[in-house]
Amino acid sequence: MNSAEVHSLLEEYGAIQTGHFLLSGGLHSDTFVQTALVTQHPGAAERLGHGLGEKFAAAAPTIVLAPAVAGLVIGHEVARFLGVRMVFSERVEGSMTLRRGFVIDADDRVLIVDNAMTDGASKREVVELAQSLGAEVLGVGIIVDRSDNVSLGVRLESLLQLETKEWKPEDCPLCKQGSAPVSPGSRHLK
């Protein structure tokens, strides 16, 4: 899939939203990408998963690791395309961890897959989790990269680079106009 096809797919399902949003990293934005509106459709999720999987196939991952909740569907589709197992990490007491009997071995070649990225904080946590288990992290694959050249210390591939505006809360022009942000992300769910 090329970036124009990905953008069109996101637009078709209403995944690129405008308004006033509190992003999971604490920044405010006038744009939110709700990839779940696309990945709820199996055919669309499969296309996106195959597109991301193709970018990493030559690296021969042995496992896909996705952070819950947003990375679950796309992580599964990438793993299915690559013919490898998929596990997911969960936030427990503020830290990403493996639960449910999931194991990553030191000889695993891990591909981390998620839906979108702004500041890279969640992706860094998952990279560090896999590395703490002794595994080699081949890279991170995401559907939408809205970051400004974030470095994760590993290869990063996305299906779409989307330019958006983000502000610190104290600098947010939408707040200054009296608007209150909504928080549609999942990082801080209780």
The pTM of the full predicted model, rounded to 2 decimals, is 0.90
Could you tell me if residue 129 is inside a domain? yes
- CATH number for position 12: 3.40.50.2020
The DSSP element (H or E) to which 34 belongs, if any, is none
Structural domain including 149 reads: 3-176
Helix (H, G, I), strand (E, B) or coil at 18: strand
* Contact predicate 162/17, CB 8 Å: no
Could you tell me if residue 48 is inside a domain? yes
Domains in the chain, number: 1
Mind giving me the DSSP string for 62-123? SEEEEETTTTHHHHHHHHHHHT-EEEEEEEETTEEEE-TT----TT-EEEEEEEEESS-HHH
Could you tell me if residue 186 is inside a domain? no
DSSP code for 57: G
Tens place of pLDDT per residue across the chain (190 aa): 899 999 999 999 999 999 999 988 888 999 999 999 999 999 999 999 999 999 999 999 999 999 998 999 999 999 999 999 999 999 999 899 999 999 999 999 999 999 999 889 889 999 999 999 999 999 999 999 998 888 999 999 999 999 999 999 999 999 999 999 998 865 544 4
Could you tell me if residue 151 is inside a domain? yes
Could you tell me if residue 9 is inside a domain? yes
* Contact predicate 69/189, CB 8 Å: yes
